């Protein structure tokens, strides 16, 4: 994997001229995929049941991407993702990303989320505090950034929980169930839902 480098925001380079490529691959949880350009990984698609579904999901957000054989640095990321979904402890913090098109706030949130280690969790509010925000809208902003995360797994949005360490939402295929599976792979055990007191 390459040195940790997140390409600065939109307008820093002409993304319209860069070719975007994609690859799909089989993992222990289904077919995953990613897109990349010369600046870095632009999208990671969490596993779906079929390669076709993964390709469709990738192309929905990167319609100009073309299938390609993974060059060595992308092949390393693919291999690391396969090992992750097979249960191996993997650190993706050194993967080079291209987050062009993301606003400054989301890039700041994503940088903070990348510091959440394997097997660790935080809450939307905790992540907001990590970026120096404590206003009432901060946790909502973090939630929106996580829902729009273009490179799930590499930016580990599955490690960000709702208040009270509840699973919260997850916009990937399989929803909260996929989030719970990923957390379980990392040894994070979420308690069962508390029964209602009926009050």
Catalytic machinery residues = 157
For the range 106-111, what are the long-range contacts, defined as Cβ-Cβ under 8 Å and sequence gap of 24 or more? 106/145, 106/148, 107/6, 107/8, 107/9, 109/141, 109/142, 109/145, 109/146, 110/6, 110/145, 110/149, 110/155, 111/6
Length of the chain: 199
The burial class, CB within 10 Å (0-12 / 13-18 / 19+), for 88 is exposed
Work out whether strand 30-37 and strand 6-7 pair parallel, antiparallel, or are unpaired. unpaired
Cα dihedral across residues 42, 66, 75, 121: positive or negative: positive
């Amino acid at each position: 994997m390459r040195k940790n480098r997140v390409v600065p925001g939109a307008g820093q380079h002409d993304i319209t001229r860069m070719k975007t490529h994609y690859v799909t691959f089989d993992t222990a949880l289904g077919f995953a995929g990613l897109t990349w350009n010369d600046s870095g990984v632009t999208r990671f698609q969490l596993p779906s049941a079929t390669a076709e579904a993964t390709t469709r999901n990738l192309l929905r957000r990167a319609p100009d991407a073309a299938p390609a054989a993974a060059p060595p640095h992308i092949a390393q990321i693919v291999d690391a993702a396969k090992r992750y979904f097979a249960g191996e402890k993997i650190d993706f913090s050194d993967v080079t990303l291209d987050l062009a098109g993301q606003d400054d706030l989301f890039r700041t949130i994503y940088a903070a989320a990348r510091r959440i280690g394997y097997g660790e969790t935080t809450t939307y509010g905790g992540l907001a505090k990590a970026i120096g925000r404590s206003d009432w809208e901060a946790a909502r902003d973090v939630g929106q950034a996580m829902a729009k995360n273009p490179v799930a797994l590499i930016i580990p949005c599955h490690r960000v929980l709702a208040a009270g360490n509840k699973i919260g939402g997850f916009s990937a295929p399989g929803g909260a169930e996929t989030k719970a599976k990923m957390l379980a792979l990392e040894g994070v055990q979420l308690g069962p839902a508390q029964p209602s007191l009926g009050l």
